[in-house]
Amino acid sequence: MSSNALPGGRAASAPILGHEIEPTVFEMSVAGRSAYQLRTTGVPATPLDELVPAAHLNPEVVALAEVSERDLVAHYTRLTHRQFSVDLGAYPLGSCTMKYNPKFCDAVAADPGLNSVHPGAPAELTQGWLELLVTLEEKLCAVTGMAAATLQPSAGAAGELTGLLLMRAFHNANGDPRSRVLIPDSAHGTNPASVTLGGYEVTTIPSNDRGLVDLAALKAALGPDVAGIMLTNPNTVGLFEEEITEIAAAVHDAGGLLYYDGANLNAILGVVRPGDMGFDIVHMNLHKTFATPHGGGGPGAGPVAVSARLAQFLPGPKATRVEKDWYDWVKPAKSIGRVHAWHGNAMVLARALAYIEVHGGDGLTRVAQRAVLNANWLRSRLSATLPAAYDRVCMHECVLTAAPLKAKYGVRGLDVAKGLLEEGFHSPTVYFPLIVDEALMFEPTETESLQTLEALAEAIERIEKRASNDPESLHRAPQTTPVSRVDEARAARHLIPTEDAASR
Amino acid sequence: MLSFLGMDSLDQLFAHIPAAVRLSQGLDLPDGMSEPDVAEVFARFSAANQAKSPEMLCFAGAGAYDHEVPAVVKALAGRSEFVTAYTPYQPEVAQGVLQAIFEYQTMVSRLSGLPIANASLYDGSAALVEALNMASGATGRQRMLVSAGVHPHWRAVARTFAVGTGHEIVEVPLKDGVTDWGSVVAAGAAAVVGAYPNYLGVMEDMGGAKRLAVANEALFVLACDPVAAGVLKTAGQWGADVFVGEGQAFGTSVSFGGPYLGLFACSLELIRRLPGRIVGETVDSNDRRAFVTTLRAREQDIRREKATSNVCTNQTLMAVTAAIQLGWLGTYGLREVATRCAQGAHFLFDEVTKIKGVEPVSSQPFFREFAIRVPKKASKVLSRMADRGILGGLSDAALNAGGAMDAVANSERVILVSATERRTRSDIEQYVKALRKAVD
């Protein structure tokens, strides 16, 4: 490490300016002001009441804001100054893979040759898009070791539900309908929710004292009514399921399928593929692994790849290479139908393909290596302050515990998280997974430098010192952010979801 | 870094992964390319898309509309603080996104005429599916009466997910472009779902659907065109319990179908069943106004298998974009856009129906979109129009899967056409000329 280099990822100098509240756009509204300009069309300006029967016209005017372009720009620019982002600083939010999003991928998506294409235009006029989608499908299959994929699901959770419907279609086609799906107790909350919406019952499998699936408990839970198991590997504790081949054999022997929750795919790119581990269905979160920007909570994209025996059930119509250099929409033979109004979150898919092409097979492997190296370095560096819940080599993220700070100083994981905001870092994920007491899940990703990781570790050490000297100050943290600790209970108790409710 | 871990190779980090499943040769993918080289690859994709602006004039709609998106909206919505943030789990450093969503929720609430709006869903079809799940939860019933005037792809999505939830999707046919509610058994319905204007552009009187819902104690769900909502009766005024819509029209380009924006609003009584996230106003510990995601106890990460929705991510960036676009349009700009869409569509309708052999599919009043029947196969006609630089609308065959026009007879000869505020008189005249030649 260059000893004088300063960290790029610490946003302590952040332009988080506003400590005064920003008015809402409605509070800035002045009757008669406007920003909009529309084309001069020359179309006859027939009065609306001659085109629309009176019974359909709203007798009232729906009020929006009335602001100038200048005020609109000022308002939303100031709002961005009250917002943390990856571009601003490190975002070690475990399980969320908040890596830097290369600008090149956004530039690709800004091309009107892609984004001005109507989704209902016929295939012969959209060959570029179809080729792009087919190319992405092939690359995703190469990464996961699967045979075919759908690009339709809008996000990871939509991919999960799609995967469960594929599981259902497979068993039903075999005349073998089943009723239960197994899920480890460390799973993401979307897994059990998706299972329920997929029409299955959840059977929870306990973790063993190493943080992994308890193989004996899994075997005991298997039976002819089990449709399959949903696994995240590495799991949500950041550990690789070392008995994966035994798990796969046991589930397959019982006639079940293995579903791979791709939330943590970043850890294994180029190292091991879900298909080689025995998984039958794999969803990917493109906004995690392939760095499409998360947009403050979407859009994502959640393609689902499957093994050959499940390909005929995939959602459709599907972009397909029907002959050399010619593409068309084809519905798989036993398709479960559409899971998206059109073809999926196409602009997100395009960004992900750009990311994959720039990285290539070699670059994707380096992504996983560096992500795992960074997480292990941080785990080891912080071992005296925040011990790991399972102290051994982790994958791309590490689950640490604030339990010692709680015991010694009464400072909880949430207080550490809020203290980190004052230090110019985003917080880790708090209180997940549920099986770890005072969990703090750090995922530094491959894009943060050693200098940034060192600065993060030093910030946590300062927080520990504060915990011993002045724990009360951490309960009050953060104070240097645009707002201080937010009263979440009040928000739920006195619900104000709109400006109109606020003024009532 | 490796030496700090007492290791001398990266492989040691992965040594605990069983060798039997580990890749020995790496991925079967070519090595990475430089960004300029990849840009060349994408330039080829782009060149192979003929149906792009400005080379081809877009008269296609069906829930994806070519509206004006001004430079100011692109500049603000493209700011990296909005683009590269995560879900606002730490409200103290996420007030920008949270307040923008609060403003968005206020706008959706007003456009829907309903008091509660969520922070968005994936797209219109996802909003419909969540509305059906909500209706099932609220009534304990599974029977969903869905007008064939609802977008055919949305109905297809609803049918796919109904396999898991056990919902019975009953499609109610159209007669002269209007839902024939009397043609199905309504008893035991959980939801009555209409579209306004419907897929064929027709403004149906939604009073009958509302009465049917009330008589059967079902929820009345109305899928609305949110641009039309700038001037037409709101979902709330029609008595809807739930409003769903496709918000792409607010600041997002047609984007080959995504990402779009699922609009969702409902009555107060249904709030505990609201899918997705919702932002609420509160205060911070210094008693200053602050915003936070609230009613979290409904969500999947807390309720797990008891959750009624598995939605985690929503479509925040599109929601923020919509708020900015609606801020730009303002009260009268949205009315102007809605009015001009109607004017353009009616002018186009009047001109194309003068062409011999071109007939309207329905005699009912339409708003900004209409269906015509042409004397030849629609896909052939559209193909000939494309040769003249006109994307003339949507045909049943456009997606090679059929079903896009399942609501009308002789669907292979039907074209769905719309004209937004971006289409000039000259554009429309070119359309008419191209259609005349194509059907000749």
Amino acid identity, residue A103?
A: K
Task: Map tokens 């990849």 to a residue.
Answer: B38
Partners of residue A199 in chain B, C-beta under 8 Å: 163-166
In this complex, the residue of A66, A122, A450 whose CB is nearest that of residue B398 is A122
In total, how many domains does chain A have?
Answer: 3
Q: Between chains, do B106 and A276 touch, taking CB under 8 Å as contact?
A: no
pTM of the entire predicted model: 0.97
Report yes or no: B282 and B291 within 8 Å, Cβ to Cβ.
yes
Residue A163 lies in a domain: yes
Q: State pLDDT tens for residues A348-398.
A: 999 999 999 999 999 999 999 999 999 999 999 999 999 999 999 999 999
pLDDT for the residue numbered B403: 59
ipTM over 0.95: yes
**Short-list B318, B371, B310, B410, CA closest to B119:** B318
Q: How many angstroms away from the CA of B187 is the closest CA of chain A? A: 24
Q: If pLDDT is split at 50, 70 and 90, which confidence band does A14 have?
A: low
Q: Cα–Cα distance between B245 and B190 in angstroms, integer?
A: 20
Residue A499 lies in a domain: no
Q: Between chains, do A85 and B84 touch, taking CB under 8 Å as contact?
A: yes
Q: State pLDDT tens for residues A422-476.
A: 999 999 999 988 889 999 999 999 999 999 999 999 999 999 999 999 999 999 9
Instruction: Mark whether A171 and A228 lie in a shared domain.
Output: yes
DSSP symbol at A23: P
Q: Which one of A2, A83, A165 makes the best mutation probe of the B interface by having the most chain B beta carbons within 10 Å? A: A83
- Among chain B residues, the shortest Cα distance to A172 is held by B163
Instruction: Mark whether A447 and A318 lie in a shared domain.
Output: no
Instruction: Mark whether A340 and A397 lie in a shared domain.
Output: no
Report yes or no: B317 and B82 within 8 Å, Cβ to Cβ.
yes
Q: Between chains, do B258 and A348 touch, taking CB under 8 Å as contact?
A: yes
Partners of residue B284 in chain A, C-beta under 8 Å: 483-487
Report yes or no: A304 and A162 within 8 Å, Cβ to Cβ.
yes
CATH number reported for the structural domain that contains residue A290 in this entry: 3.40.640.10
Q: If pLDDT is split at 50, 70 and 90, which confidence band does B399 have?
A: low
pLDDT for the residue numbered B301: 72
Q: How many angstroms away from the CA of B171 is the closest CA of chain A? A: 16
Q: Between chains, do B92 and A485 touch, taking CB under 8 Å as contact?
A: yes
Residue A94 lies in a domain: no
pLDDT for the residue numbered B396: 82
Check whether B364 has a pLDDT greater than 50: yes
In this complex, the residue of B83, B105, B296 whose CB is nearest that of residue A293 is B83
Partners of residue B230 in chain A, C-beta under 8 Å: 62
Q: Between chains, do B42 and A369 touch, taking CB under 8 Å as contact?
A: no
Give the range of the structural domain holding residue A22, as residue numbers without chain letter: 1-82
Q: How many angstroms away from the CA of B331 is the closest CA of chain A? A: 5
Partners of residue A168 in chain B, C-beta under 8 Å: 163-164
Q: How many angstroms away from the CA of A200 is the closest CA of chain B? A: 8
Residue A287 sits at the chain B interface (C-beta within 8 Å): yes
Between residues 300 and 359 of chain A, which touch chain B (CB distance below 8 Å)?
A: 300-301, 315-317, 328-331, 336-348, 350, 354, 356-359
Q: Between chains, do A294 and B87 touch, taking CB under 8 Å as contact?
A: yes
Q: Among B219-228, B292-301, B318-327, which stretch is predicted with the lowest mean pLDDT?
A: B292-301
Instruction: Mark whether A311 and A427 lie in a shared domain.
Output: no
Instruction: Mark whether A332 and A415 lie in a shared domain.
Output: no
Q: Between chains, do B45 and A129 touch, taking CB under 8 Å as contact?
A: yes
Residue ending a domain, choose from A359, A394, A414: A359
User: Could you report how far apart the first and last alpha carbons of chain B are, in Å?
Assistant: 74
Q: Cα–Cα distance between A110 and A2 in angstroms, integer?
A: 37
Q: If pLDDT is split at 50, 70 and 90, which confidence band does B246 have?
A: very high
Instruction: Mark whether A406 and A466 lie in a shared domain.
Output: yes
Between residues 406 and 465 of chain A, which touch chain B (CB distance below 8 Å)?
A: 417-418, 421, 426-427, 429, 432, 450
Residue A498 lies in a domain: no
Instruction: Mark whether A420 and A328 lie in a shared domain.
Output: no
In this complex, the residue of B99, B331, B339 whose CB is nearest that of residue A22 is B99
Residue A471 lies in a domain: yes
Partners of residue B379 in chain A, C-beta under 8 Å: 122
Instruction: Mark whether A128 and A267 lie in a shared domain.
Output: yes
Instruction: Mark whether A279 and A348 lie in a shared domain.
Output: yes
Check whether A503 has a pLDDT greater than 70: no
Residue A93 lies in a domain: no
Judging by beta carbons within 10 Å of its beta carbon (0-12, 13-18, 19+), is residue A1 exposed, middle or buried?
exposed
Q: Between chains, do B282 and A496 touch, taking CB under 8 Å as contact?
A: yes
Report yes or no: A214 and A70 within 8 Å, Cβ to Cβ.
no
Q: Which long-range contacts (CB under 8 A, 24 or more apart) does B277-280 make?
A: B277/A297, B277/B87, B277/B118, B277/B119, B277/B311, B277/B314, B278/A497, B278/B105, B278/B116, B278/B117, B278/B118, B278/B119, B279/A497, B279/B98, B279/B101, B279/B102, B279/B105, B279/B119, B280/A491, B280/A492, B280/A495, B280/A496, B280/A497, B280/B102
Residue A436 lies in a domain: yes
CA A119 to chain centre: 25
Q: Between chains, do B82 and A83 touch, taking CB under 8 Å as contact?
A: yes
Q: If pLDDT is split at 50, 70 and 90, which confidence band does A15 have?
A: low
Residue A92 lies in a domain: no
Q: Between chains, do B330 and A66 touch, taking CB under 8 Å as contact?
A: yes
**Short-list B271, B227, B206, CA closest to B124:** B227
Q: State pLDDT tens for residues A216-268.
A: 999 999 999 999 999 999 998 999 999 999 999 999 999 999 999 999 999 99
Residues of chain A with pLDDT > 90: what percent?
Answer: 92
Q: If pLDDT is split at 50, 70 and 90, which confidence band does B400 have?
A: very low
User: Could you report how far apart the first and last alpha carbons of chain A are, in Å?
Assistant: 58
Quote the Cα angle for A288-A289-A292, to 5°.
55
Q: Between chains, do A111 and B42 touch, taking CB under 8 Å as contact?
A: yes
What percent of chain A is helix, strand and coil (3-state, nearest 5)? 40, 10, 50
User: Mean pLDDT, chain A, as a whole number?
Assistant: 95
Instruction: Mark whether A321 and A242 lie in a shared domain.
Output: yes
Q: Between chains, do B383 and A122 touch, taking CB under 8 Å as contact?
A: yes
Partners of residue A37 in chain B, C-beta under 8 Å: 70
In this complex, the residue of A131, A340, A483 whose CB is nearest that of residue B95 is A483
In this complex, the residue of B5, B66, B82 whose CB is nearest that of residue A296 is B82
CATH number reported for the structural domain that contains residue A406 in this entry: 3.90.1150.10
Q: Which one of B34, B93, B227, B425 makes the best mutation probe of the A interface by having the most chain A beta carbons within 10 Å? A: B93
Q: Between chains, do B106 and A498 touch, taking CB under 8 Å as contact?
A: yes
In this complex, the residue of B27, B56, B311 whose CB is nearest that of residue A361 is B27
Partners of residue B95 in chain A, C-beta under 8 Å: 22, 79, 82-83, 482-483
Instruction: Mark whether A354 and A488 lie in a shared domain.
Output: no
Q: State pLDDT tens for residues B307-362.
A: 778 887 789 999 999 999 999 999 999 999 999 999 999 999 999 999 999 999 99
- How far is residue B115 from each of residues A495, B127, B265, B345, B428, measured CA to CA in Å? 11, 17, 7, 32, 39
pLDDT for the residue numbered A362: 97
Q: Between chains, do A347 and B256 touch, taking CB under 8 Å as contact?
A: yes
Q: Cα–Cα distance between B27 and B39 in angstroms, integer?
A: 23
Q: State pLDDT tens for residues A120-131.
A: 999 999 999 999
Q: State pLDDT tens for residues A288-335.
A: 999 999 999 999 999 999 999 999 999 999 999 999 999 999 999 999
Residue ending a domain, choose from A301, A329, A359: A359
pLDDT for the residue numbered B409: 76
**Short-list A280, A282, A274, A225, CA closest to A258:** A280
Residue ending a domain, choose from A23, A50, A82: A82
Q: Which one of B10, B22, B31, B45 makes the best mutation probe of the A interface by having the most chain A beta carbons within 10 Å? A: B45
Q: Between chains, do A79 and B232 touch, taking CB under 8 Å as contact?
A: no
Q: Between chains, do A38 and B337 touch, taking CB under 8 Å as contact?
A: yes
Partners of residue A376 in chain B, C-beta under 8 Å: 5, 13
pLDDT for the residue numbered A227: 98
Partners of residue A234 in chain B, C-beta under 8 Å: none
User: Mean pLDDT, chain B, as a whole number?
Assistant: 95
Instruction: Mark whether A254 and A347 lie in a shared domain.
Output: yes
Beta-carbon contacts below 8 Å between A and B = 689
